[in-house]
Every structure is written in C-alpha cells, then in structure tokens.
Structure 1
Amino acid sequence: MPKTRKMLCDWKAPYIQSLMRLIETQSKETLANWAITYCEERLLPLWERDYPDDLRPQQALKAAREWLSGTIKLPQAKKKILACHGAARDAEGNPVAQAVARAIGQSASTIHSARHCIGLAFYGALAVAYDQLGTAASWDEIEHCAAAECGRIEAALRSMAVEHERNPAKINWNC
C-alpha cells in the first residue's frame, strides 16, 4: 500500500482559509452542531461500512450531543471522545476509517474548544478523498477531491450559520 498522509495540512489553502473565516463568525454551539451533524450524515457511514461493531465514533457524537443538551457533563463526554481517538489508532492500516475516526473525534471535541472543528476539514475531507479515489491516487488528485469536500463542508456550515452571531467563538488558530 502506498504511503498515505493522515491529514490535510495546508492552512493557507484557499478552501481552508475560507472555512476558517466563516468558523470565526459562529458560536461554539453552532460549530459543534454543524460538525457533529456533518459527521453523522457524511462520515459515520464510511466508518460503519468497515467497523459496524465498533461503536466508539457513534458514542462520541452522541456524547457531544448530550453535552450540548445539558444531559451529561464534560468529563463524561470526554471519555467517549477519547475512546473515538482510540478507534482511530486501532484503524491503522485503513486510511479512510482512520481519518473518519479522527474527524469525528475532533468534531465532537468542538464542545470543549471551538477550534477543534477545523479537524472536520483536515481529516474528514481527506477521508472522503481516499474513499472516492483510493490511496494510490496522486496527492494532487487527492487534494483536489478533498478541496471539493471542503466546499461541501463549508456549504453545510453556511446553511446552519447564524447571521450576525452575537457570541462568536474566540479562536486562536496558532498557525
């Protein structure tokens, strides 16, 4: 199997910059709901196809939703989210599933820190590109496909975005 990258990493890519600017206008709650919903609809099926009996990613998303609704505390949610990151480690050798689990873990972690939501693009878009093109495709092809997925990710956030959000998340990207 060809060497695969574990995530997109070009913070300066126009599709990442555009998404980051939109993220900066939204509240942590909106960002968490968006990232969780996108994972449930677009990424979780890719995980379930290969690991139908491993429920850690589903449980991380469920715990994040429960935290948002106030039914559980952050330490309880955090345990499920960390378990999802463990699922990513356990999926070594399956680049699609590994990237999906990382995207889900980062998306669920948005309840703790809003900046985690960018992991949806860096991991999730790569997972979709690997799923669609395979890991033998050139990096240019992979990145082109991932950029298109980032466009869909951004469109999903635009559809949920609160216009003139009064309490946007304060994000220091550190990049």
Structure 2
Amino acid sequence: KQIETQSKTTLAQWAIDYAEHALLPLWSKHYPDDPRPWKALNSARDWLTGAIKLPQAKPLILECHAAAREAEGNPVAQAAARAIGQCASTIHSARHCIGLALYGALAVAYDKLGTNAAWDQLKQCAAEECGSMLDALRAVSVDNEPNPAKIDWKC
C-alpha cells in the first residue's frame, strides 16, 4: 500500500538506496571484482539526476541482470543481483521496485541463515527484512504525494 502512494522518482530513490546499502555488499562479498550491479545502480542514479537518458542506463541495468544469471549456484549473490537489477529498473517502471522485497529479502535471509536453513526460518528472516524495507520507504515518503505512481501489478 505504501508503494502506491509514492511517485516513481521516490520509489526509485528508495529502491536504489536500499539496494546499495543492504544488497550491494552481499554481491561484492561473493564477486568483489564484478562491478555490474554497482554500475546499474549508478546509472539509475544518473538517470534520476538527469545526467543520462534511459537508453544510456538500460544496457548497464541489463548487464546486472546478466550478472545474476551468471551467478547460478550462488543463491545469495544471485538474489542480490536480481534485486539490484530490479531496483535499478524502477527508473523505467515503478512496479520493478517490488523486486527489492521479492529478491532482496531472500538474499538477506540466505546470507544470514544459509541456504540450508528451514524454510520457516528463511521466511521469518525475509519478513523482518521486508519490515526494514518498509521502514526505509516510510522514512523517505512524501506526504500527500501529488503524483503517485500508477502501478498495474499484473496480478
């Protein structure tokens, strides 16, 4: 619900900031020499400031998605890169911000508990991370946002 009250710009800024703080370190822990997720976030930030246009950011975001595919077999890094790619993609469509919760919370849970943890434990840890994400969104939300994103969740 909180997502639907905010502009695409606010959602993109929130998703990018959260991904940089919580998820980029997870990727870097496993792939310290692969800057593709970092470049995706930076290109999205550059788009937000007007420094570049979407056609310049898009290839860098797609490279982040490629990094996620290449991280097959490393669930923490793969989920982190998928989340980062979705967060950066929020500059294109606001609904991509949901990838922060879907992939990002699981990346954090896998990192904290390990991939062999019981599903109930992973689910609880991911839910707690989603709570932190919501807190972060509330902290940057614009009261009575005049231009909330019109999101079709396709579900």
1:68 aligns with 2:48: yes
Gaps of 5+ in 2: none
Secondary structure at the aligned position of 1:92 is classed as: coil
Aligned position for 2:125: 145
Alignment RMSD = 0.5
Equivalent in 3, 13, 27 of residue 47 of structure 1: 27
Amino acid of the residue matched to residue 54 of structure 1?
D
Asked if 1:77 is matched to 2:57, the reply is: yes
CA distance in 1, matches of 2:75, 2:37: 15
TM-score, scaled to structure 2: 0.99
1:133 to 113, 116, 132: 113
Aligned residues: 155
CA deviation profile, 1:17-60 (whole Å, cap 9, x unmatched): xxxx0000000000000000001111101111111110000000
Overall identity of the aligned pairs, in % = 70
CA deviation after TM superposition for structure 1 residue 138, in Å? 1.2
> Of residues 17, 27, 45 in structure 1, which corresponds to 2:7?
27
Structure 1 residue runs of 4 or more that deviate by more than 4 Å after TM superposition: none
Give the secondary-structure state (helix, strand or coil) at the position aligned to 1:111: coil
CA distance in 2: counterparts of 1:48 and 1:62, whole angstroms: 15
Amino acid of the structure 1 residue aligned with 2:76: V
Q: Displacement, 1:90?
A: 0.7
In structure 1, the gaps of 5 or more residues are 1-20
The equivalent of 1:116 in structure 2 is 96
Report the CA distance between 1:145 and its aligned residue: 0.5
